[in-house]
Amino acid sequence: MICDSNGKVILPFDKEDKTYNSRLNSYFPDSFRDILIKKEHIGENYISNKFDTTIKNNVIIVSKLKEEYFKKLQNDQFKLRVFIFTSLMIFIAVVIFFVFKKINEIFYFHYKSKLEDKVKYSNHEYKLANSFLSKNIDPKLILSQASTSMILTDDKVNILYVNNSFTELFEYTQEEVLGKNPGFLRNEDLEQKGITILKNAIENDKSTTVVLRNYTKSNKLKYIELSISPIFDEKNDTIIYYLGIQKDVTKEQKILRELRRIF
């Protein structure tokens, strides 16, 4: 500790705590400074009891002040580290959230676009088939050569004909399905929104497209995108057929469900 000629402490000096020296000086009474600056009280072998006691007391005070200061400094540094670490973790979490959100959007819109393209393609095939049938061309010739599974039913929705793609997809022969309602492909899996939509469309003589869970002869699950449309007679007032076009979208549906489960 260093004092000036008036007995005021000038060192140590704390740059961060501007009041440190002034607080330190407040602990030193005037009697201490008087002893310090009065030369006649100081000899080679003499230090007064008063001076000695004052020095000891103030050494204790200074030690406590230093201890208090360093504790405060360490506490502030710890709080700063905690704040920096917490902020960093929050930032990383936010970045990860937005990255996964973006990935989800990319995959979702990609497969959604593919499904929409398939629906358009199915509708296009249906229109072509319907056009040919309306010109009295043999429906079997049209249906048998289609690469997509097709079903032709009567106005009561009983199967009249299925093409080769149908038999390959569901493992049934034509003889096994003739006269049956296509609903037998759903087995006991009846809790499907698409079934209600399909029934409403048939009751109102409308076309529609739905995704259904169907099952093969060996009981394998297939997600089928079914597009149906009524075919009217020449007077266009009586339904004589229903044409169904079936697309196997099992892979796409599994990917979409997995993405929804993850995100």
Question: pLDDT tens digits for 182-207?
Answer: 999 999 898 999 999 999 999 999 99
Q: Quick one: what percent of the chain has pLDDT higher than 90?
A: 35
Task: Please state which of the ranges 133-137, 146-150, 195-199, 246-250 shows the lowest mean pLDDT.
Answer: 133-137
Q: Tens digit of pLDDT for each residue in 78-96?
A: 777 778 888 888 888 888 8
- pLDDT at position 104, please? 73
Residue 219 DSSP SS3: coil
The superfamily (CATH) of domain 103-262 is PAS domain (3.30.450.20)
Whether 4 has a pLDDT exceeding 50, the answer reads no
**Residue holding tokens 């993850």?**
262
Q: Where in the chain is the domain with CATH 3.30.450.20?
A: 103-262
Q: Tens digit of pLDDT for each residue in 119-130?
A: 665 666 666 666
Which spans in 38-135 are helix H? 49-134
- Of the candidates 154, 117, 124, the residue with the CA atom closest to the CA atom of residue 139: 154
CA quadruple 21, 22, 27, 29: dihedral positive or negative? positive
